[in-house]
Chains A and B, each alone.
Chain A
Amino acid sequence: MHDPAALASTAVPLLEARNLHAHYGASHVLHGINFAIRAGETVALMGRNGMGKSTLIRTMLGLVRASTGQVLVKGQDMTHTAPHLIARSGIAYVPEGRGIFPNLTVRENLVMAARAGTRGQRDWTLDRVLTSFPRLAERLAHGGGQLSGGEQQMLTIGRALMTNPDLLILDEATEGLAPLISREIWRIVASIRASGIATVLIDKNFAALSTIADRVHILVKGSTVFEADTDQLRAQPHIRETFLGI
């Protein structure tokens, strides 16, 4: 077996930001960010609230307009490409606040997203998602809005998997969930990682992230202040204190 880290460092990134800048009106929110994630990797994107984590993700996904700089998907420039085409390049997104469709049933939320992956793979089917999330199987006919917060989170993750992505981006997947439910979500994320799907995780829980992420990328005020293997961050508690306050 090859060393995945060595393999990853040579491969073309699945998603890459090069010197990316973005603005919300007059305010400059991303200051030339370089970010990359390769096949099979798990990268934690960390930082306090309002430091630009979600904006970085949303700009790479084409939902926020990049002012300057580039977004590359598998080496191809997709800086000003429509969001649905970026998604179709194999990137699934679970946004902060989940974004389930409350007026659709659980089944419809899942079925509407179903599609083969970029290599034609159909690893994730409705059956497999329901096996991975038994709670959803019990609530197929319920409206998306009737689910608890944890179930909604499972539904968005399940829905993202239905697109058979190469890369899954989770923005604050455990935000506001009870510890028991959070643990279940982390367990699911670990199994997704093990299945070979690359993941970008935005979260504030370093303890949980450090067990799963290969690398950590920390943003402060729209700039990268730290980027290294998770082990290096674990060995430098002062960095965590300075930039994350933990």
Chain B
Amino acid sequence: MELATFLIQLLNSVQYGLLLFLISSGLTLVFGIMGIINVAHGSFYMLGAYLAWSLTQSFGNFWLALLLAVPITVLLALTLEWLVIRYLYTRDLLYQVLLTYGLILMFEEIRSILWGDDVRGVSIPAALDASIRLTDTLSYPVYRLAISGLCLLVAASMYGLIQKTRIGMTIRAGSVNREMVQSLGIDVTMLYRLVFALGVTLAALAGMIAAPVSSVFPGMGNQVLIVCFVVVVIGGMGSVKGALIASLLIGLVDTFGKVLHVEVAGVHLLPELASMSVYLLMAAILLWRPEGLFGKRG
């Protein structure tokens, strides 16, 4: 492989990995702190993408669409937590999966009613619609770099929020001993509502910024959800740091799995096998560390 091609694929894998992190960090936070498995998490990714498309259509400006879509998502998340999610805190996994699976069906139906079943596209905002030339024939789109930059910014802010602020301390404390946090006079219900809204908003934000590079289509949330669960399992349930490492790993394995043509003992491995690479990675890591890279043992 040429160096320029390699570099492009590397940038692609990092961008894909960081985008995955944006989505899966919310999934792992909601699980790690609130103990909720939210299988509807991917739907918020889809919702973000459709909101970006629809609002860009209405206002003719991607940035304005983003500015409006984020608060809409936050409001939706807060409402949803209050309406249904809070009843799951004391119930077991089966209820959580059933209810959030029901949410997927509802979201798909609402999406169909509001926006139809067609594949949509969002054009890249003019300010970032450029390419950086690498060689005579190869170049790299600026927008993809911007996605990576934004994801890194979000990752850094999350690190700051969780590690350096008092809310972050309470969030971490709540993940190990909810009752003790309450006994110190902290409103855990409010804390949970906040964490849920944060997780949902991150997933929706990922959908919004991904919309210009990947098309906007029905079921896009479920596709990404499966990969995100792989990320969460590899990184360790509840670990944001684990989610970052696992996302980047998956970005690499998935991207290079598709472009490398591997020959093993003279047998050419089919590209179809490449799509298994992510799951093979998961299987290998789970054999080595069943609790995931940064998961809690036991």
Contact = CB atoms under 8 A, between A and B. Distances in A.
A103 B175 contact: yes
B177 interface: yes
Contacts of A237: none
Interface residues of B, number: 18
Most buried by A among B169, B185, B188: B185
A112 B175 contact: no
B179 interface: yes
Interface stretch (A45-53, A87-95, A199-207, A208-216): A87-95
A112 B169 contact: yes
Given A104-B172, A108-B169, A111-B169, A99 B177 contact: yes
A84 B182 contact: yes
A87 B173 contact: no
Contacts of B54: none
A237 to B, nearest CB: 36
The range of chain A's interface size is 20 to 34
B261 to A, nearest CB: 45
Given A99-B177, A111-B166, A87 B182 contact: yes
A168 to B, nearest CB: 12
A112 B182 contact: no
Interface in B176-190: 176-177, 179-180, 182-189
A95 B184 CA distance: 11
Contact of A93 (B183, B187, B188): B183
A144 B7 CA distance: 44
A83 interface: yes
A113 B176 CA distance: 15
Contacts of A217: none
A113 B184 contact: yes
A245 interface: no
Nearest to A112: B169
A102 B176 CA distance: 8
A79 B80 CA distance: 29
A101 B177 contact: yes
Interface of A: 61, 63, 82-84, 87-88, 92-93, 95, 99, 101-104, 108-109, 111-113, 115, 159-160, 163
20 contacts: A61-B183, A82-B189, A83-B183, A84-B186, A84-B187, A84-B188, A87-B184, A88-B185, A92-B183, A101-B172, A101-B177, A101-B180, A102-B176, A103-B172, A104-B169, A104-B172, A111-B169, A112-B166, A112-B169, A113-B185
Interface of B: 166, 169-170, 172-173, 175-177, 179-180, 182-189
Leading 7 A-B pairs by shortest Cβ distance: A87-B185, A99-B180, A112-B169, A83-B182, A101-B173, A88-B185, A93-B183
